[in-house]
Structure formats: C-alpha cells, structure tokens
Copies of this chain bind each other. A is one copy, B any other.
Amino acid sequence: MSITLRSPLDMHLHLRDAQMLTIVAPLSASSFSGAIIMPNLIPPVSSKEDVLAYKKRIMDSIGDSSFTPYMTLFFKPTYTRDFLESVQDEITAIKLYPAGITTNSEGGVSGFEIDDLRETLDAMSDLGIPLCIHGETGGFVMDREAEFVPIYEKLATNFPKLKIIMEHITTSASVDALDKFDNLYATITLHHLIITLDDVAGGMLQPHLFCKPIAKRPEDREALLRVALSAHPRVMFGSDSAPHPKESKEAPGCAAGVFTAPIALQRLAQLFEENNTSFDNLQKFVSDNAQEIYGITPIEKTVTLSKKEFTVPDNYDGVVPMSAGEKISYTIDSIS
C-alpha cells in the first residue's frame, strides 16, 4: 500500500536558531513544502530586519531543498498599521504568546483588554494577516487551555474578520469553540493525537513527551482525533515540533517540547490507517485545508509513503524524536 501526499505543510514549527537550526531545518525541509515558522527566538522576531535575517539563516541551513519558511512576527500590541504594512509582504502570520507561558515567551502579552489590542488587531484584520495564538492562561496546568477559550471567543467576536488560529489545541473545549465561530481555526499536533497525560506521567515519567500545552485527558484526545481524521475544514496539521538538546530534555527541569518533524508524515499515515480513515482526509489535514485557510500556494512537492516498517532513530544529531527507537508502519519512499 502506498500514499502520495501533495505539498505537505507544517503550520506550526519551531526551527530555533544557530546550531539547532542547522540540525532540524533540513529535516523539515526535506519532506514538507513549507512551514509556519514560530518567532520565539531570544530576542523574539519582531522587526522586518529580524524576519529577513532569520529567513536567510533558515534558507542557508536547508541547502538546496525546496521549502518555504512562512515567516511570523512575535505579536506586540505596539505594532502600528504603518509597521504592519511595511512588513506585510515578508510575513504570513503573527504569533501571540501570553507572557511567560512557554519557551521564550517572556515578552508576550500580559492582558487581553480589547482596547489595548484594538489598533493592532484591526490593522491585521484589514490587511488580512492571520493571528496565531498560544492559548493558555497561567492557571492549573490541566485547565489552562480551557480557561483561555473565553479569550478566544472574545477576540473572535470583537474582530470578526480576523483569522484567529488556536494553535496546538489539546482539549475538547477548544474543539467546541471551533464550531461556534467561523473565524476560529486550529492547528493540531501529531503528539496530541496520540498521547494523553497517561503517556507523560501515568507510568514512569517521560520527558520526551513533556510539552506545553501538556497532553490532556482521553476524551480530549478523542475530540482532537475526531476533527483531525474528518479533516474539519478549519483544522490544519501543525507539528509544534519543538527540539531541545537531549541533555536539557533528560535533566531535572526538563524543557517543554516534543520533537516530531522528521517522523510526522509517517506516523500520521499510520494513525489515519489505524483509524480506517481515508488518506484523502490526510491530504486535507496536512495541506489542502492550510492552503485554503492561509490562501497560500505551496511549492509543489510529492511525498510517497509505503507501508514498510520504519525504525525511528534514537536521535537526530543529539535531538531525541518522539517514538525514538520504536517502529512506525509507514516509510517515506520518495520525494519529488
């Protein structure tokens, strides 16, 4: 059995910088046509110069792969319409982080008063720049995302023409919100379709599955699976592949993030097959929906997978992927 995926897209990707960038960017660039690149560097990507310089570093690190890094800015409520107009051609979206909520998010937003955000969000809305949001409050770890849903809804109500993307959703509460507002969209990771908190901390503690938002309850995973497998038209694949060096994942105070980019398409093929789901829906989930939502036409790239066992490497140059050492039932055969 073989599957052909046309121009797969990863709509939420961390490529980091410096040495890590050179390790992970080629892995995404080889099998994806493009990816939305998260801006949470130190310091965050927040000017046109930052965007152009980071994009150049990405392009330099992927060699001759055909791959589009869809660049983003780190949201600041101080962005003016003039600034956004000046940078618009270089970015695909703007990513909003509540302050301090995840890796390198210290400079994020510390309040969601509509009046404080109106100028920037009105301009984004007018200019057609989507707003990607890491939607978590500072509350109890299992409640943070559900507590953020009213903020999603407030933004969706106040900015009805703004495309708001609920990033890496992990709860049935977010799935429910998706169906209440036409301008709410979502990305879903591979790992949140597979694991629950049980896999992180139900047996022995598994740092390589520790991420933010943390994996939730079985009924949350079911809700995510439902919209992913059915290729809900406002849902896209976004790996949130978030590499950290093995040493910093395997020490006390383990950093948050699951590294999945190099195994994502293979494992998604297995997941859709296990759930007796049409690969047409996988095509929509990993590309078509995103093209429609973002209005982008990605580089043509054809990825052919076949049902042949693939053993996940223990690490990629010192970065441990999800399912390291385990077998996945699909392999990438060819990319053209």
Residues of A at under 8 Å CB distance from B?
Answer: 140-142, 196-198, 200-202, 204-208, 210, 214, 217-218, 249-256
Interface of A is mostly: loop
> Which chain B residue shows the least CB distance to A199?
B141
**Smallest CB separation, A213 vs chain B (Å):** 11
- Distance in angstroms from A73 CB to nearest chain B CB is 26
Bound-complex Cα distance A317 to B142 (A): 35
Task: Check B205–A253 contact: CB distance below 8 A.
Answer: yes
A–B complex contacts, Cβ < 8 Å, 28 sampled: A140-B196, A140-B198, A140-B202, A140-B217, A140-B218, A141-B197, A141-B198, A141-B201, A141-B202, A142-B142, A200-B201, A201-B201, A201-B210, A201-B214, A202-B214, A204-B253, A204-B255, A204-B256, A205-B205, A205-B207, A205-B210, A205-B253, A205-B254, A206-B252, A206-B253, A207-B207, A249-B252, A250-B251
Q: A207-B207, A208-B252, A249-B252 are in contact. List 13 more A-B contacts (CB 8 A).
A: A140-B197, A140-B217, A140-B218, A141-B197, A141-B202, A200-B201, A201-B214, A204-B255, A205-B210, A205-B252, A206-B253, A207-B254, A250-B252
State A53–B252 Cα separation when bound (angstroms): 36
- Report Cα–Cα, A130/B104, bound state, in Å: 52
Distance in angstroms between the alpha carbons of A210 and B203 in the assembled complex:
10
A217 CA to B204 CA, complexed, in Å:
20
Q: Which residue of B lies closest to A249 (CB)?
A: B252
Are A142's CB and B253's CB within 8 A?
no
- Find chain B residues with CB under 8 A from A196 CB: 140
Task: A202 to B213: give the CA distance in the assembly, Å.
Answer: 9
Chain B residue at smallest Cβ distance from A256 = B204
- Residue of B at shortest CB range from A138? B202
Residues of chain B within 8 A of A200, CB atoms compared: 201
- Distance in angstroms between the alpha carbons of A166 and B142 in the assembled complex: 25
Q: B residues within 8 A CB of A251?
A: 250
Which 6 residue pairs are nearest across A and B when measured between Cβ atoms? A141-B202, A205-B254, A204-B253, A205-B210, A141-B198, A207-B252
Cα distance, A118 to B249, chains bound together (Å):
48
In the assembled complex, the CB of A202 is this many whole angstroms from the nearest CB of chain B, namely 4
Smallest CB gap from A197: residue in B: B141
Q: Which interface residue of A204, A210, A249 has the most chain B CB atoms within 10 A?
A: A204
Partner of A217, one of B142, B201, B252: B142
- Residue numbers in B under 8 Å from A218 (CB-CB): 140
* A233 to B197 alpha-carbon distance, docked (Å): 35
> Which residues of the other chain, B, contact A142 by a CB distance below 8 angstroms?
142, 197, 217
- B-side contacts of A254, CB under 8 Å: 204-205, 207
User: What is the distance, in angstroms, from A136's C-beta to the closest C-beta of chain B?
Assistant: 10
When chains A and B are docked, how far (Å) is the Cα of A141 from the Cα of B214?
14
A198 contacts which chain B residues (CB < 8 A)?
140-141
Expressed in whole angstroms, the Cα–Cα distance for A207 and B254 within the complex equals: 9
- Central interface residue in A197, A208, A210, by most chain B CB within 10 Å: A197
Complex-state Cα separation, A201 to B249, whole angstroms: 13
Give, as a whole number of angstroms, the nearest-CB distance from A72 to chain B.
Answer: 25
CB neighbours (8 Å) of A207 from chain B are: 205, 207, 252, 254
Q: Which residues of B are found within 8 Å of A249, using beta-carbon distances? A: 252
